Amino acid sequence: MSTRHPTLTAPYAERADHAVHPLTSYLFRLMDLKESNLCLSADVQTARELLFMADKLGPSIVVLKTHYDLIAGWDYNPQTGTGAKLAALARKHGFLIFEDRKFVDIGKTVQMQYTAGTARIIDWAHITNANIHAGKDMVRAMAEAAARWKERIHYEVKTSVSVGTPVSERFDDGEEHGDEHSSGDGDGRKGSIVSITTVTQSFEPVDSPRLSKSTTEGDEVLFAGIEEPPADRGLLLLAQMSSKGCLMDKEYTQACVEAARENRSFVMGYVAQESLNTAPNDNFIHMTPGCKLPPPDEEENGEIEGDGLGQQYNTPAKLIGVCGTDIVIVGRGIINNGDPPSEAERYRKKAWKAYLARLE
């Protein structure tokens, strides 16, 4: 780890001023405002539970991480579905949505997976992540797709369709209607009914970065104290993993650092186990999973047991204070607790305390 890089002792509010990526800058400001450097990994089983957790734990977190593909009952409707509902809760409580999709493929494929298909991830997730084993070009491909998306959503397409559907009486009443809907040849035979369809499309500038003005419950409730996030999308590079025996070596991690520096307007930072800011002007944000606290009555500095399936855990104090991460990602440590909102608050306080201690 690079000790004493300036970002390790700079307050988040100050780092917001120097961040290249608008969403990173926004996130640092949000962290400062909410006094939270906690990301909830909402790995629950149903869309209902996901939205419940987002609503109840929203006040304690700055990022909510999803794996949309493990959620049963995910509704793909872009206007009223699960993504749109999550986005409404994000606006209500002030958090960003991070879809932990770990994209890895050739550039063209990831562009399509990111912006289209079933889930249309880019529409509702402010942040996503990528494993760059396929090569750095894939990051550029995603950046280009995100830039095109931003350009497109600046205009919301309003389409109204009016169809002149013939009413049944006109077929059945045996009368001729000498209007534009009927074409009779005047020989007494029944005229055929011509339906007129009018499609009007208008482009309206979207002032707010939200994509869809859905009527989702709570949509109009906005978190106070900060404006809505910018319409930019951001990427985190999966530079190191928390799992035992992870095959990502130093060379791979270094390639992530290079890819991040080459794509500063799209790459916000890393999912990593330690701070990777080493160059003087590096100000990337770091998010770290594999985080757990011992029960409240136990010694905090002891070893934390893994999950038996390869996951390894460290405390917020170690990850933030020693390893230099910015945001801790916590899943089962919170959601498996009997009282998730209180447990989220316990994690938020511990993680924030570790950050304040790092500044000293």
In the numeric block, which tokens belong to residue 98?
Answer: 């991070």
Strands 155-163 and 197-205: antiparallel
> Of 87 and 330, which CB lies nearer to ligand 6AU in the complex structure?
330
Region from 106-114, 199-207, 241-249, 296-304 binding ligand 6AU, contact rule CB under 6 A: 241-249
Is 282 known to be catalytic? no
- Range 58-87, binding ligand 6AU (CB under 6 A): 67
- Say if residues 330 and 351 touch (Cβ distance below 8 Å): no
Q: Where are the beta strands (DSSP E) in 254-324?
A: 267-271, 285-288
CA 75 to chain centroid:
16
Retrieve residue 80's tokens. 């009223």
Stretch that binds ligand 6AU, among 7-15, 258-266, 327-335, 346-354 (CB under 6 A): 327-335
Which residues touch 158 (CB under 8 Å, ≥6 apart)? 201, 202, 203, 204
CB of residue 334 to ligand 6AU, shortest distance in Å:
8
CA distance 329 to 293: 12
Question: Is 152 among the residues that bind ligand 6AU (CB under 6 A)?
Answer: no
The strand pair at 267-271 and 285-288 is best described as parallel
Report if residue 311 touches ligand 6AU, rule: CB under 6 A: yes
Instruction: State the nearest-atom distance from the C-beta of 42 to ligand 6AU, in Å.
Output: 9
Tokens coding 120:
């249309």
Asked whether position 337 contacts ligand 6AU by CB under 6 A, the answer is: no
Residues 195 to 214: which contact ligand 6AU by CB under 6 A? none
132 touches ligand 6AU by CB under 6 A: no
- Look up 105 and say whether it is catalytic: yes
Q: Does 271 bind ligand 6AU (CB under 6 A)?
A: yes
Least distance (Å) from ligand 6AU to the CB of residue 90? 18
Taking the complex as a whole, the smallest distance from the CB of residue 162 to ligand 6AU amounts, in Å, to 47
Closest CA to 84 of 36, 40, 130, 50: 50
| AA identity, residue 274 | E
Structure tokens at 286: 């770091």
State which of residues 58, 321, 324, 331 lies at the interface with ligand 6AU (CB under 6 A). Answer: 331
**CB 59 within 8 Å of CB 91:** no
Q: Is 332 annotated as a binding residue?
A: yes
Question: What would the two tokens of residue 209 be?
Answer: 């970065």
Among 37, 41, 275, 277, interactor with ligand 6AU by CB under 6 A? 41
314 binds ligand 6AU (CB under 6 A): no
Q: What are phi and psi of 74, to 5 degrees?
A: -65, 125
Q: What is the CA angle 50-56-58, rounded to 5?
A: 85
- Report the distance separating Cα 288 and Cα 330, nearest Å: 9
Q: Is 136 a catalytic residue?
A: no
What minimum distance in Å lies between the beta carbon of 210 and ligand 6AU? Answer: 25
The rounded Cα 63 to chain-centroid distance in angstroms is: 8
Which residue, 208 or 336, has its beta carbon nearer to ligand 6AU?
Answer: 336
Minimum distance from residue 308 beta carbon to ligand 6AU (Å): 11
CB 329 within 8 A of CB 65: yes
Looking at the Cβ atoms of 260 and 329, the one nearer to ligand 6AU is 329
- Answer for which of 16, 34, 83, 100 binds ligand 6AU (CB under 6 A) is 100
Nearer of residues 182 and 243 to ligand 6AU, judged by Cβ: 243
The yes or no reply on residue 131 touching ligand 6AU (CB under 6 A) is no
Tell me how far apart the alpha carbons of residues 262 and 282 are, in angstroms, rounded to a whole number: 12
Pick out the residues of the known binding site for substrate. Answer: 43, 65, 242, 311, 331-332
The residues annotated as belonging to the active site are 100, 102, 105
Pick out the residues of the known binding site. Answer: 43, 65, 242, 311, 331-332
* Interacting residue ranges for ligand 6AU, rule: CB under 6 A: 41, 43, 67, 100, 129, 238, 241-243, 271, 289-290, 311, 329-333
